[in-house]
Amino acid sequence: MGRIVTKNKGVARMRVLFIRLIIYMVFMIGCLSLTGCLGNRNWQYPPSASGTYLNAKADAVVPAKAIVLPLEDLRGEGVKEEYWKATIPLVPYGDTVYQRPESVEHPEQVDVVRFDPTQDFSKAIAAELNQAGIYSSVKFAKDVAQEPAEVAFRGRLRSTEWKRRLYTYLLGPVGVVFWILGLPMSETTTDLVLDLQLTPVNEPNKVLWNMTMDFEGKQFDSPYYGLEDAVGSYPSALQEALKPAVADLVGLANQDPNRLLPR
């Protein structure tokens, strides 16, 4: 009987320790969130990762003024919220997918993204093009009447899909132990697809230049790192997507500037 009692006491002690471990992990993750590990969830451009605009510069300025209009929004409206699947043992992960992450109601704090893509992206494009010195000036305008210009950049926004995959390593709730040990808690993928074209300001169907930009960014995070940077993947993705477009426009400004003028 003495051995049975001892064994039962050992099992009870292990249960208590396990419960305390779970409570400690939940408390720790909650504290990390409350102390600001999620960082700033607002749009910021240039991206905090680079802290600067692209370094491409035109040798000579095309003698015209340009405007960048708000992007036409062609994104889907799909929502998938399945983090709960990660709590099931032998299920490796749970996914959350938002096609319009800025408009989701009551997302988890880590999935909060505050921006207006059709306007914020256009303003960033205008800033990059103006910084590159391609035209005498490049400004964002809500419509063609707001700013005097000879040419206009118009675009279509096709995707800003946000996907976050939460890992519990096939162990359900027990898998959070690996988060505390420093293994990745989740992986965030941000997808950016947009078309950009240049037209005479009053002739939207006369295309002088166009390019499709597609960029996908991936990032792992844990309670210790990465959560504050996930939202920054959109400014970084936009800047990366703009690199070939700005380089192409700079090349045309240097070698064939008439291509960038109304004709």
pLDDT (tens, 9 = 90+) of the chain, 263 residues, equals 445 445 566 556 655 555 555 544 554 454 444 344 555 568 889 988 788 999 999 999 999 999 999 999 999 999 999 999 998 999 999 999 999 999 988 777 667 788 999 999 999 999 999 999 999 999 999 999 999 999 999 999 999 999 999 999 999 888 888 988 889 999 999 999 999 999 999 999 999 999 999 999 888 988 888 776 655 678 988 999 999 999 999 999 999 999 999 98
Taking alpha carbons only, the member of 160, 158, 138 closest to residue 149 is 138
Amino acid, single-letter form, for residue 73: D
Helix (H, G, I), strand (E, B) or coil at 157: strand
From residue 64, alpha-carbon distances to 60, 147, 149, 206 in Å are 12, 13, 7, 17
Instruction: Dig out the tokens for 99 from the structure.
Output: 């096609």
- List the chain domain ranges: 36-260
Any idea which residue has 């893509």 for tokens? 117
Beta pairing, strands 186-200 & 151-159:
antiparallel
pTM: 0.83
Residue 171: name the closest of 161, 159, 180 by CA.
Answer: 180
pLDDT of residue 105: 84
